[in-house]
Amino acid sequence: MNERSWIHTLFSTGVILAVFLICCPTAYGAEADDPFYAKQSYLQQIHMNEAWDVAQVNTNITIAIVDTGVDLNHPDLKPNLVPGINLIHPELPPADDNGHGTNVAGVIAAMGNNDRGVAGILWRARIMPIKALEADGSGGEQRLGEGIRYAVDHGAKIVVLSLGLNKYSAYMSDIVKYAEERDVLLVAATGNEGNRVKYPAAYPTVLAVGGLTADGTADSRSNTGPEVDLLAPWDVFTTGLDGNYESKDGTSMAAPQAAAVAALAWTRNPGMKAYEIRQFLRQTAQDLGGKGWDETTGYGMLRADRMMTEMYLADMYEPNNRKDQAKSISVSKKISASFAGGSDIDWYYVDAPYDGTINLSLDMNSAMSASVQHTNATGVLTSKTVQGGQVIPLKVSKGRSYFQLQLTERGQTMNVPYQLETSFDIYRDPYEDNDKQFMSYVLPSRSLSIKGTFHQYNDTDWFEFPVEQSGSLRIRLSTDTARMDPVLLVQKQGEKSVILDKGDDGVTETMFIPEVFPGSYYIRVTNVKDYANPVVGEYTLSFEYDAKLIDPNEPNNRSYQATTVSLNTPYNGLLDKLDDVDWYQFTVDEESLVQVRLTDIPSPATMYMNLYDGALKPIASSMNTPPNDSQQLSGRFQPGTYYVKLNTNRTFDHHMYQLLVSAQPLTGGYTDIRGHWAQDAILSLSSKQVINGYDDYTFQPDRPITRAEATAVLSRAFNWSKQRAVSYTDLNESHWAYGYIAHAAQAGVIDGYPDRTFAPDQPVSRMEMTAMLARSMNMTGKRRGNVPFTDVDENYWGIGLLKQMKAEGWISGYADGSFHPDQQATRGEFVTLLSHLLR
């Protein structure tokens, strides 16, 4: 495809080096007397009347609108305008030749109570028009950056950006940081494509505003994702060109509402920093649906009245001192909170959209540091220390991860504010390194789909698809985000390549080759030329290969002809006759968890899988029910030889099934403890039926142990038979651990919290573990003797138990003399200490 022009038309969905407008695809208190005020129902939705009871104007700060300019002679705007600039034609004033900038300006500051037209959120204000876009609404990111910088350098306190583009830009990122460092609030629209949040709204310090319908739900066209901060009404009635008024819609009309409310709030809080105003908008937003932040509605709906009446909280996320109180935050945003001294613990959780890395930084007093305990979605625990301003990477799996933050200066008594910034890097796909054709990843010669990523700058992915039999081939390249504009290149070895890039941002590319011949076909997947940066998103590369195939395993129609299977190696086969039967055999050398998995069964065929032991005695059988194309048999197998027999009710010769036999050696019935430092303790207590693992034959020794799990283990270990009735708000008699907890409560080993909760899923700290085990042994602790560890003192609540347990040789700390009492205890640590006590 020819290289794109840097200019595009208004509302185009594809942007390379262009910026597009994001608009139009389209209680009681003080009221304005403007004639069209009745058409401005969105003002009632965000409770402007109540806010106007407090203030209606702010002429002390300047609000810049980087857009298509503003109608400089509009009677409802002219009194509120201050000099700006035209970056398209510098010799001319920033007059609007499109209408979009005028629409935005009216939402913010159409003159109120002037018996004319409409009322802006601010009745009197200082609006700086900056024309950075052409008459058709397009423009380059260079001018967008110049517009923001001009606004910052010429005294603007707020910059409104009702525009967007799909690509990340290092240049724009630097401009955004420039504004943040100079205490300027950037407010941007998320976009209207029902896809990912556009830039600049997607940068961590830009307030990203989505669109809200009249019935209080997120508009389906409003872009969503981890960068959304809040929503404001989608439909407005506002100023238009040539002194007119008109209805408009889109997130372009939502963003200026948030900016204007921010300016209004600055009238009662003139000393607040831009990041505090940004956090205040989040704090006062009205929850929509679930409580707290989510990627569809952010923190909720803009509430002007709350901004004008509520007090700013230094930490809006409290209470969050326990895991079950953890607050939801984005994987890609900057928030504000505080430590209420050294004993304060702050819990947060994030929902990672993919496997990858979360980069976490704390902006606080550089002389201080904080401990970070991260529990991955898979249960893996990581502990790190972060200095103020330092960035630490934390590996995450797709799903929910938890972060526990606490000052390392535990004796700190003063409140310590901090800003927590997160950013997300997607995983490196399993086909790397394949950036060059000679490094192409060789794919199996069959129909399949794979997922890849552009995890690094200028990432290029090459694949080789070997064709063994003549047939047809359809290649499809799709993506789950508009931040990618995928380009597909296909080349038969020794022949000329074909490049396909017919679509635009996020659009699927498809190539059909009606006749392919034996040989290698090379496929290159790239992001379009100007999208060189890493992208948070996945592409899917699919192959539909239709060829008459030959079963590589024949003859294997009898058990004595069975194909010998190597474990963890896929085998493909055909059943091209109704009387065809495929036999396979495999050997297990030691007790193992074996999985026999049959996949890629062609629809509408039903396949029957039968499993036999070495004497051909039936063990198990299964079948799939179309359209389900897979089935599995699994279990605990003793050493020996086993057979698999496959047959079908429908023949097929253009699509191969895949058989995979995998085996994980078992140690004491577990797949994940062999060689682990806690192995002996786990085996010992398992043999006594004190502990058990999970249904998937794992023990997960490095996973934090919960209060419920720890209580159950202790109850079984000490054979407590007496129990007392317990009543907690978060625990009923149907809970699996209720009986164990009742026994432990009677034994005086554990109890609930003052708020009448038990928090059964809350991780146990190393100190809580020590206390539970000590009480189980009827140890009461002693006050005499030296402090045993460097990170506790005589005032620590568990010092007596630590002294006794250390003196009697039950516990030991780390090599540096510390104990880390507040660190989460793992299942391996708990079991090892308990095993030591039971000797």
Which amino acids are annotated catalytic?
67, 100, 252
The closest alpha carbon to 685, from 796, 549, 839, 531, belongs to: 839
Element (H, E) at 43: helix 41-45
Between helix 251-268 and helix 100-109 the angle, nearest 10°, is 30
The closest alpha carbon to 254, from 311, 201, 328, belongs to: 201
In whole angstroms, what is the distance from residue 728 CA to residue 749 CA? 16
- Strand pairing class (570-575; 607-612): unpaired
* First CA to last CA distance, the chain: 74
In whole angstroms, what is the distance from residue 380 CA to residue 579 CA? 50
In whole angstroms, what is the distance from residue 67 CA to residue 55 CA? 27
- Strand pairing class (640-648; 582-588): antiparallel
Question: What DSSP character marks residue 39?
Answer: G
Task: Count the alpha carbons within 13 Å of 838 in the hemisphere toward its beta carbon.
Answer: 19
Does residue 427 contact residue 356 with C-beta atoms inside 8 Å?
Answer: yes
Beta strands in 144-195 (DSSP E): 156-161, 163-164, 185-189
Residue 584 identity (one-letter amino acid) = Y
Mapped onto helix, strand or coil, the DSSP state of residue 786 is: coil
The closest alpha carbon to 22, from 260, 254, 258, belongs to: 254
In whole angstroms, what is the distance from residue 210 CA to residue 222 CA? 6
Q: Each residue of 52-85: b (16+ CB within 10 Å) or e?
A: bebbbbbeebbbbbbbbbbbeebebbeebbbebb
Mapped onto helix, strand or coil, the DSSP state of residue 80 is: helix
Please give the structure tokens belonging to residue 377.
Answer: 């979605």
Beta strands in 30-180 (DSSP E): 57-67, 85-86, 124-131, 156-161, 163-164
CA 704 distance to own-chain centroid: 22
The closest alpha carbon to 752, from 782, 781, 724, 787, belongs to: 724
CA 273 distance to own-chain centroid: 28
Contacts of 744 (CB under 8 A, 6+ apart): 711, 714, 715, 720, 750
Please give the structure tokens belonging to residue 55.
Answer: 């203030």
Q: How many CB atoms lie within 10 A of CB 508?
A: 15
Please give the structure tokens belonging to residue 546.
Answer: 């239709």
Q: Residues, the chain, total? A: 839
Residue 34 identity (one-letter amino acid) = D
Between helix 707-717 and helix 766-776 the angle, nearest 10°, is 20
Q: How many CB atoms lie within 10 A of CB 813?
A: 18
Q: Can you name the residues that pair with 242 across neighbouring β-strands?
A: none
Does residue 667 contact residue 683 with C-beta atoms inside 8 Å?
Answer: yes
In whole angstroms, what is the distance from residue 517 CA to residue 519 CA? 6
